[in-house]
């Protein structure tokens, strides 16, 4: 089976970079758009191929999800032998449980739709929930960008001297395991903020468990969306006497609504994210971007050769 990389329109630069690292050209894929908004992808040259279709489903989420479903169908009808959908960012993964009666569980709906369109397997970078593999009917390889982000932190925003004294902060209880992973890689202690979400855009953070007084702080999360979580956590650690100039690290930078203003007014020295979602060339905040292309190329190359991914996988 030949290996083919297909790019959706959400992050073609990342897909191209992954293909380049694997020594391939991107396969031919065009998404036609009709005047009423309907999409129709056309792919070529995939007969009998081992296809890896790269499309993060970030904003506009519904548009990117729909395009992805149609692309999977197009690849299947073009005769692909197997289709692995690569979701550098999996939109809807936060909808993994019902907060109240009458709500949908969006992640399951999207996972089922991907499977029924013809996806044989998923590769997802740092999904919001590791329960994803239990939710999906198809196999899921959950790879993690945390080691490469931790390396980048140590080499850049957090110099060796600061790293010796730094505290890794989880901005909510859901981020504790992630913070422990960063803490282990950076050899730093962990503190935890208790956050309450009031709505999609409003959170309050009240308490801090752990000591940050006079110490450099690294706030870690899986994603930054509106920036509300990061801003609230930055206020709490500042209120507990942390050294100024906080560093923030997250795998996925969505930066929707007032996120940029929130980062800029929260006294954050540096925000480090990956390119799972396309980032602006000239961001209006102190942003560093670390590419996941080597990670995805490594994962795809190994899966194509039927080799294990153990050391690339996200921790439970």
Return the number of the residue (85 or 225) whose C-beta is nearest ligand R5P. 225
Tell me the closest approach of the beta carbon of residue 150 to ligand R5P, in angstroms.
18
Contact 16, 26 (CB under 8 A): yes
Tell me the closest approach of the beta carbon of residue 254 to ligand R5P, in angstroms.
7
Tell me the closest approach of the beta carbon of residue 255 to ligand R5P, in angstroms.
9
Binding region for ligand R5P (CB under 6 A): 94, 128, 172, 174-175, 203, 221-229
Return the number of the residue (47 or 103) whose C-beta is nearest ligand R5P. 103
Phi-psi region of 126 (alpha: psi -120 to 50; beta: other; left: phi over 0): left
Active site residue 177: no
CA distance 233 to 169: 8
Q: Is the dihedral of CA 166, 172, 173, 177 positive or negative?
A: negative
Return the number of the residue (76 or 262) whose C-beta is nearest ligand R5P. 262
Catalytic member of 128, 195, 215, 252:
195
| Secondary structure element (H or E) that encloses residue 298, with its range | helix 293-304
Segments in 141-255 forming alpha helices (H): 146-155, 160-165, 176-186, 228-239
E-assigned strand segments in 263-316: 268-274, 287-290
Return the number of the residue (94 or 108) whose C-beta is nearest ligand R5P. 94
Nearest to 177 by CA among 211, 229, 216, 130: 130
CA distance 33 to 52: 23
Half-sphere exposure of 200 (CA within 13 A, CB side): 6
CA distance 147 to 86: 19
Tell me the closest approach of the beta carbon of residue 176 to ligand R5P, in angstroms.
11
Return the number of the residue (95 or 225) whose C-beta is nearest ligand R5P. 225
The two structure tokens encoding residue 247:
């560093």
CA 310 to chain centre: 19
Tell me the closest approach of the beta carbon of residue 126 to ligand R5P, in angstroms.
10
Query: What residues are labeled active site?
Result: 195
């Amino acid at each position: 089976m030949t290996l083919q990389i297909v790019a959706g329109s959400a992050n073609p630069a990342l897909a191209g970079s992954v293909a380049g690292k694997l020594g391939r050209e991107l396969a031919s894929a065009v998404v036609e758009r009709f005047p009423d908004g309907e999409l129709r992808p056309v792919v070529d040259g995939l007969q009998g191929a081992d296809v890896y279709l790269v499309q993060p489903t970030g904003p506009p989420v519904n548009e990117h999800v729909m395009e992805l479903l149609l692309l999977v169908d197009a690849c299947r009808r073009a005769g692909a032998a197997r289709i692995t959908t690569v979701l550098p960012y999996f939109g809807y993964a936060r909808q993994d449980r019902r907060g109240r009666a009458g709500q949908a569980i969006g992640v399951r709906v999207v996972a089922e739709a991907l499977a029924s369109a013809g996806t044989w397997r998923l590769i997802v970078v740092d999904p919001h929930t590791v329960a994803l593999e239990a939710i999906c009917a198809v196999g899921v390889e959950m790879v993690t960008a945390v080691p490469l982000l931790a390396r980048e932190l140590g080499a850049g925003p957090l110099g060796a001297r600061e790293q010796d004294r730094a505290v890794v902060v989880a901005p909510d209880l859901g981020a504790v395991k992630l913070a422990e992973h960063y803490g282990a890689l950076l050899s730093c202690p962990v503190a935890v903020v208790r956050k309450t979400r009031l709505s999609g855009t409003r959170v309050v953070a009240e308490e801090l468990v752990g000591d940050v007084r006079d110490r450099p702080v690294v706030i870690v999360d899986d994603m930054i969306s509106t920036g509300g979580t990061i801003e609230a956590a930055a206020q709490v650690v500042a209120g507990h006497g942390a050294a100024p100039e906080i560093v923030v690290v997250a795998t996925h930078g969505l930066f929707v609504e007032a996120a940029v203003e929130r980062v800029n007014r929260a006294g954050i020295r540096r925000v480090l994210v990956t390119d799972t979602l396309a980032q602006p060339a000239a961001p209006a905040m102190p942003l560093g971007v670390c590419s996941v292309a080597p990670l995805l190329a490594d994962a795809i190359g190994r899966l194509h050769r039927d080799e294990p991914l153990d050391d690339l996988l996200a921790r439970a």
